[in-house]
Chain A
Amino acid sequence: MTTNSKTNGFDENETSPQEVGSNDPISSALKQVYDEVANEPLPDKLNSLLEQLRNGDKK
């Protein structure tokens, strides 16, 4: 198992650092690249996996 227990206990609503603004070109490009991938349709392989998990096949 490779989880990090320190991850637990964070406030999910904590805001992002102010220093990394959203208005400068680097931040904008970074978010655009990230969002493009995050908004892509999932590939068949992952859809199939998620479907199996939802159906309880792998639990």
Chain B
Amino acid sequence: MSLEDDLIAQTNNLRAFARSLVHDQTRADDLVQETILKGWSNLSSFKEGTNMRAWLFTILRNTFYSEIRKHRREVEDIDGRYAAQVPDKPTQHGILDLRDFNEAFATLPADQREALTLVGASGFSYEEAAAVCGCAIGTVKSRVNRARARLVELLDDDTGSNDRSEGELLAALGSGGDAGRK
């Protein structure tokens, strides 16, 4: 596979990462487009045999934070549009309601969302995630732990106020580690 093909093949992963940072779909796709163009025009600086996805995620992340610095209010999901776009799916045994999850996820700071997405969904090691984020491995671990603890807290609260008869969510959360539980 050529470098060009490898870059193009990462488009779907870039979209998924972008949506964890920029909840508005159109903006996320704009971010992906900009990332692809930057990557394409700078392919000569990519070291063959290394991690193309990490390289592109770094470009995407840096582009995202540059946008935040320029247009902070426009980039942040202050009105919960992301959560509103997520299709509502019924709760199943041991599975979180995705709308509840996304609403909680959207409240996390961007640095925690990206750390959790990189490590928990994109399959990066802590070391790789730290390089993408330009920070220490311990910082990534801390962000992941804080994000997970906050999600547990938020989803626990949500369950309490939602009065789900099954009580499945609480049981499910208990099975996944107790960090941050009250």
Contact = CB atoms under 8 A, between A and B. Distances in A.
Contacts of B95: 25, 28-29
A26 to B, nearest CB: 5
A15 to B, nearest CB: 7
Given A29-B95, A58-B40, A34 B117 contact: yes
Contacts of B63: 2
A26 B176 contact: yes
B141 to A, nearest CB: 8
Contacts of A8: 46-47, 50-51, 55
Given A12-B51, A17-B126, A25-B94, A49 B33 contact: yes
Given A31-B121, A33-B121, 13 more contacts: A4-B55, A7-B131, A8-B55, A10-B54, A14-B125, A20-B119, A25-B172, A26-B176, A37-B12, A45-B29, A46-B15, A53-B36, A58-B37
A16 B131 contact: no
Interface of B: 4, 8, 11-13, 15-16, 19-20, 29, 32-33, 36-38, 40-42, 45-47, 50-51, 53-55, 57-59, 62-63, 66, 86, 94-96, 98, 101-102, 105, 116-117, 119-128, 131-132, 134, 141, 144, 148, 151-152, 155, 169, 172-173, 175-177
Interface string A32-59: 1111011110110110011001100011
B7 to A, nearest CB: 8
A53 B116 CA distance: 31
B176 A27 contact: yes
A38 B16 contact: yes
Nearest to B87: A36
A37 B152 contact: no
A2 B102 contact: no
B19 A37 contact: yes
Nearest to A27: B120
Given A30-B120, A31-B120, A42 B36 contact: no
Given A4-B58, A7-B132, A53 B4 contact: yes
